[in-house]
Structure 1
Amino acid sequence: MLTTQPLLITGAKGTLGQAFWRVCRMRGLAVVALDRAALDIASTNSIAQALREHQPWAIVNAAGYVRVDEAEMDEARCIRENTTGPQLLAKACAAHHLPLLTFSSDLVFDGGQSAPYLESDAPCPLSAYGRSKWQAEQAVLAHLPTALVVRTSAFFSAWDPHNFVHHALMAARAGQPFAAADDLLISPTYVPDLVNTALDLLLDEAQGLWHLTNQGACTWAELARLALTLAGLDAAGVVPQPAASFGWAASRPGYSVLGSAHGALLPSVESGLHRHLADERLLGSANPPAMLLI
């Protein structure tokens, strides 16, 4: 789809929002990225104003409440940002005949199976965060059946330091131990792979539920050790611990590996980690372009 209208990205300051803005700029696509102050997705009036002002051809919803444990004590706000907001965006997109891409999580599942979860498997979330995402999926697709809803898991990217892999690398470089859960099996996801593939699907007018993660399952502790090994660092500082020892308020599924009936669209986790490390080196030698937040 070629158009001079911009792609409108919500949640511009978050991991996904920053990545979408960067990828769109790299690919020469017109883009407008709005932070929460400029677009409150849980406000019908704010959404209407943004649509009038920017006239986008589609919306990527990268906004949301991401603090999984705090959501247990702050469920009303979590639902406002993760459920109500996407629902209102879906209603607005339906009224204006606009495509919508929004994101969900592996935490909609309870970990009760031992084979990768497919799009057709029934969610059964264990936490307030997981419930907010599952409710959002249902609401979005009810109001806009053509919406593209992408479930993903365990982000990592050098473009944003707020991720597990970055913290593991920083601890090793500082000679500090790094504790990580060794009993939660996950599907790590390199953010640039996720964003490029999700954007391709949006441009191709894909719709419905899609699972997008890098190929390969591991525990958090295994992910940390692999990242350190590939970086040439000592992985002996990774301290494997049971998830229960971290005192998290929210329950996590012991198994939340995502597969897809659509096929394997992203490369391996190891490939993503190699490119994460290359991105680190690149960003260390050059200043990335500043993001325009409207």
Structure 2
Amino acid sequence: MYRSCGIWNVKRGLGEKGGDQLNVTSVEHIQKKSPVKKECEDAFVLNSQAGIYGVLDGATPLVCFEDEAGHNGAYLAAQIFKAKLDQLSGGEGLAQAVEKANIHLREEMEKYAVQTDLGEERWSTCVAAVEIMNDHIQYVQLGDSMILIEDEEGRFTVLTSDSVKGISERAKQKRAEGRKAGEEIPPESYYDIRMNKLRYNRRLANVEGGYTVANGMPEVMDCLDQGTISRRGVRSLLLISDGLFHPKLSLEEIYHRIREVGLEAYVQELTEHLNKHALHIDDRTAVWIKLKEVPPL
């Protein structure tokens, strides 16, 4: 069964600081836990009063830490960011919210004596969030949780960049360059062992040539993908964790398929495809926001 799935019709105005203009007509969300995980490490945000929506994807830990309630660092990181976005009233700025949540994340890791100098020890989460206002949309993004747009002509566009894509190839190139520069780096056969490769990759978080992720590092704010776009011409927004990525489809094709069959049916199709081909099934989380047309000037 889906852990959370539903269509939520917005009945009061959204916008700047709770303005009364209706910006959103409906929001559909879905979340399904990976069959190989104890708990879902994704989270989603449906803060209707502030017009803020988001998807968070905690990075599965490489260490065995759990807090008193049995939660790992991925779950905790995603929930810290969810809590911050849930409590916003609108107008504070998403970037500022990310910064505050990132500081809180670092403080929580310090409380539990996490070795934050080691990338593989840090709790981390990908972030994709939007704030929908009367005439524009603000967004922030880290990692491979993605934001897509459908315009009023039915065209689909990817708004953000997947900084995790190709990280293993970039990591290999970085090691090769390091060896040429005289650094003592193990041979590539060492990194053929999956855990060794993953540990190295985690140490490339928020550094040049690496990938972006919220993990308590001050550098997160330098790496944050953020911006503002006009609401005019935007029919809908789709926020997804990488668990919705399809091995045979581009992100634009995924959005098109969701528009054709619906969010729940797409996730079911994807899950069946992954099962059939013995591919990894991750947590799958999405928020699909349909907007009211902006009146002409």
Q: Write 1 or 2 for the structure with the bigger share of helix.
A: 1
Q: Same fold by TM-score, threshold 0.5 exceeded?
A: no
Query: If the length of structure 1 is used for normalisation, what is the TM-score?
Result: 0.29
TM-score, with length taken from structure 2: 0.29
